[in-house]
């Protein structure tokens, strides 16, 4: 049985998704009533790729709501088990992100025709992902796992792997990551601070999104 078609923007590949804007917004939505305004404020500032973490009870509803926002490319983050994949596909997500590399999750994503950005933080994990045909990975948690020095060290043995560093990135250190040749894009929650979301300060989020989208 075919699953419901997502109403959001569907792109062909992870490569295409990662090239849409320099920064992927990592969003944990606690109140679905804020979801559309949040997505619109980010898209208005040029941040189109939105990763909604599965860390709140409203996450699937938020994916559904945000998928209806024009020009938003909505994905699901914090996928930690294969059983979550069909749920996020049915909610309208067009890509997935996992904090680590799991062959079972990758298998389920491929079965569903769903691009996955898996997380890695060691050479062993990169080799395992590579053995499964992956060449774009999330470097997580970027700052805690060695930051730019670690990414530089990965360049010689893994010249074919491109990274999306996420975890501990800010408005200030993101441009340095984006300047690295093996970084395809970066991720961060800093574009939508919880305080601004709580205050409904959408203008502030658009301002931060403009900064993020001007980095490249």
For ligand 3PG, the closer of residues 9 and 189 by Cβ is 189
> How near is the Cβ of 143 to ligand 3PG at its closest, in Å?
8
> How near is the Cβ of 24 to ligand 3PG at its closest, in Å?
9
Q: Which of 51, 70, 108, 204 is catalytic?
A: 51
> Is 5 part of the annotated catalytic residue set?
no
Query: Which of 34, 39, 30 is closest to 191 using CA atoms?
Result: 39
Cα 37 vs. chain centroid, distance in angstroms?
19
For ligand 3PG, the closer of residues 156 and 189 by Cβ is 189
For ligand 3PG, the closer of residues 68 and 150 by Cβ is 150
Query: Which of 42, 20, 18, 22 is closest to 175 using CA atoms?
Result: 22
For ligand 3PG, the closer of residues 45 and 77 by Cβ is 77
> How far apart, in Å, are the Cα atoms of 118 and each of 32, 37, 102, 215?
26, 28, 8, 24
155 vs 43: CA distance, rounded Å: 32
Maximal CA-CA distance, the chain:
47
Q: At what angle do helices 59-66 and 83-91 cross, to 10 degrees?
A: 40
User: Residue number with the shortest CB distance to ligand 3PG?
Assistant: 189
Give the helix/strand (H/E) hosting 197.
helix 194-199
Q: Which of 40, 108, 138, 143 is catalytic?
A: 138
DSSP state, residue 94: S
> Is 51 part of the annotated catalytic residue set?
yes
> How near is the Cβ of 53 to ligand 3PG at its closest, in Å?
6
| The token pair that represents 186 in the structure block | 């970066």
List residues binding ligand 3PG (CB under 6 A).
26, 53, 77-78, 140, 166-169, 187-190
> How far apart, in Å, are the Cα atoms of 130 and each of 48, 116, 127, 151, 162?
28, 13, 5, 16, 11
> How near is the Cβ of 166 to ligand 3PG at its closest, in Å?
4
For ligand 3PG, the closer of residues 95 and 140 by Cβ is 140
> How near is the Cβ of 55 to ligand 3PG at its closest, in Å?
8
Q: Which residues are catalytic?
A: 51, 138
């Amino acid at each position: 049985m075919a699953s419901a078609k997502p109403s959001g923007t569907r792109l062909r590949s992870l490569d295409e998704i990662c090239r849409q804007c320099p920064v992927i917004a990592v969003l944990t939505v606690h109140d679905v009533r804020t979801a559309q305004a949040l997505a619109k404020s980010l898209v208005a500032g040029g941040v189109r790729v939105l990763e909604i973490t599965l860390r709140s009870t409203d996450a699937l509803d938020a994916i559904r709501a945000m998928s209806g926002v024009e020009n938003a490319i909505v994905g699901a983050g914090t996928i930690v088990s294969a059983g979550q994949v069909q749920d996020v596909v049915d909610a309208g997500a067009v890509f997935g992100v996992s904090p680590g590399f799991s062959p079972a999750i990758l298998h389920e994503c491929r079965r569903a025709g769903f691009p996955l950005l898996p997380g890695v933080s060691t050479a062993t994990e990169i080799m395992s992902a590579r053995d499964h045909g992956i060449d774009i990975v999330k470097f997580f948690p970027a700052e805690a796992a060695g930051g730019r020095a670690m990414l530089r060290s990965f360049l010689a043995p893994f010249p074919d792997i491109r990274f999306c560093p996420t975890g501990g990135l800010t408005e200030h250190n993101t441009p340095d990551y984006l300047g690295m040749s093996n970084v395809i894009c970066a991720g961060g929650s800093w574009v939508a601070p919880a305080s601004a979301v709580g205050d409904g300060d959408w203008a502030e989020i658009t301002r931060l999104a403009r900064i993020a989208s001007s980095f490249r």
